[in-house]
Structure 1
Amino acid sequence: MTDLDNRIVEFSTDHIPEKDRTAFWREHYGQVMLRVDLEPARDAAFVARIASLALPGLQLMDASSSPAKISRSGRFLADGNDDIIVAINRTGSANIVSRGREQSLREGEAIVLSGGEAAAFHRTSMGRSFTLRLPRAMFEQTVVNLDDALMRPIPGDRGALRLLADYAGWLLNAGSAIDQQLRNVSIRHVQDLLALAVGPSADFADTARTRGLSAARLKLAKAYIVTHSHRRDTSIGTLAASLNVTPRYLQRLFESDGTTFSEYLMAQRLARAHRLLCESGASRTAISTIAYDVGFGDLSYFNRRFRRQYGLTPREVRGD
Structure 2
Amino acid sequence: MTDLNRIVEFSTSAIPEKDRIAVWREHYGQMMFRVDLEPARDRSFEAKFSTMALPGLQLVDGTSSPVRISRRGVYLADGNDDILLCYNRSGSVTVTSGGREQDLREGEAVVLSGGEEAAFHRKSVGQSYTIRVPRPLFESSVISVGDVVMRPIPADRGALRLLSSYTGWLFKAAGAGIDQALMNLSVRHVHDLLALAVGPSPDFADTARTRGLRAVRLKLAKSYVVANSHNRELSVVSLAASLNVTPRYLQRLFEADGTTFSDYLLGQRLARAHRLLCDPGADHRAISTIAYDVGFGDLSYFNRRFRRQYGLTPREVRGDRT
Q: Same fold (TM over 0.5)?
A: yes
How much has 1:304 moved relative to structure 2?
1.4
What letter matches 1:302 in structure 2? F
Q: Write out aligned runs for 1:158-169 (5 A).
A: 158-169=157-168
- CA offsets, 1:256-276, max 9 Å, x none? 101100010001101111121
- CA offsets, 1:111-159, max 9 Å, x none? 0000111100000000000110000000001111110100011001100
> Matched residues in 1 for 2:5 and 2:24: separation?
22
Work out whether residues 6 and 55 of structure 1, in 8 Å CA contact, stay in contact via their aligned partners in 2.
no
Q: Write out aligned runs for 1:196-207 (5 A).
A: 196-207=196-207
> Matched residues in 2 for 1:267 and 1:201: separation?
40
> Matched residues in 1 for 2:312 and 2:124: separation?
58
**Alignment gaps of 5+ in structure 2:** none
Q: 1:126 is matched with which residue?
A: 125
Q: 1:12 is matched with which residue?
A: 11
| Equivalent pairs, count | 317
Work out whether residues 52 and 60 of structure 1, in 8 Å CA contact, stay in contact via their aligned partners in 2.
yes
Q: Write out aligned runs for 1:301-312 (5 A).
A: 301-312=301-312
How much has 1:5 moved relative to structure 2?
9.9
What letter matches 2:179 in structure 1? D
Q: 2:292 is matched with which residue?
A: 292
How much has 1:279 moved relative to structure 2?
2.1
Work out whether residues 6 and 54 of structure 1, in 8 Å CA contact, stay in contact via their aligned partners in 2.
no
Q: 1:250 is matched with which residue?
A: 250
- CA offsets, 1:274-310, max 9 Å, x none? 1212223322110000000000011111111112222
How much has 1:6 moved relative to structure 2?
5.8
Q: 1:225 is matched with which residue?
A: 225
> Matched residues in 1 for 2:13 and 2:277: separation?
40
Tell me, what secondary structure is at the counterpart of 2:283?
helix
Tell me, what secondary structure is at the counterpart of 1:142?
coil
Q: 1:315 is matched with which residue?
A: 315
Q: 2:259 is matched with which residue?
A: 259
Q: 1:144 to 1:181 in 2, by over 3 A?
A: same
RMSD: 1.2
What letter matches 2:204 in structure 1? F
What letter matches 2:278 in structure 1? C
Work out whether residues 89 and 108 of structure 1, in 8 Å CA contact, stay in contact via their aligned partners in 2.
yes
- CA offsets, 1:164-217, max 9 Å, x none? 111111112211611111111111111011100000011111111111000111
Moved more, 307-316 or 118-127: 307-316
Q: 1:146 is matched with which residue?
A: 145
What letter matches 2:18 in structure 1? K
How much has 1:245 moved relative to structure 2?
0.8
Q: 1:57 is matched with which residue?
A: 56
Q: 1:224 to 1:17 in 2, by over 3 A?
A: same
Moved more, 22-31 or 302-311: 302-311
What letter matches 1:53 in structure 2? M
Q: 1:79 is matched with which residue?
A: 78
What letter matches 1:31 in structure 2? Q
> Matched residues in 1 for 2:181 and 2:265: separation?
24
> Matched residues in 1 for 2:168 and 2:82: separation?
20
Work out whether residues 26 and 38 of structure 1, in 8 Å CA contact, stay in contact via their aligned partners in 2.
yes
**Alignment gaps of 5+ in structure 1:** none
Work out whether residues 98 and 118 of structure 1, in 8 Å CA contact, stay in contact via their aligned partners in 2.
yes
> Matched residues in 1 for 2:225 and 2:202: separation?
34
Percent identical among aligned pairs is: 72
Q: 1:234 is matched with which residue?
A: 234
How much has 1:249 moved relative to structure 2?
0.5
**TM-score normalised according to structure 2 size:** 0.96
What letter matches 2:235 in structure 1? S
> Matched residues in 2 for 1:5 and 1:64: separation?
19
**TM-score normalised according to structure 1 size:** 0.97
> Matched residues in 2 for 1:274 and 1:21: separation?
49
Runs of 4+ in 1 over 3 A off after TM superposition: none
Q: 2:37 is matched with which residue?
A: 38
How much has 1:76 moved relative to structure 2?
0.8
> Matched residues in 2 for 1:280 and 1:39: separation?
55
> Matched residues in 2 for 1:34 and 1:315: separation?
56
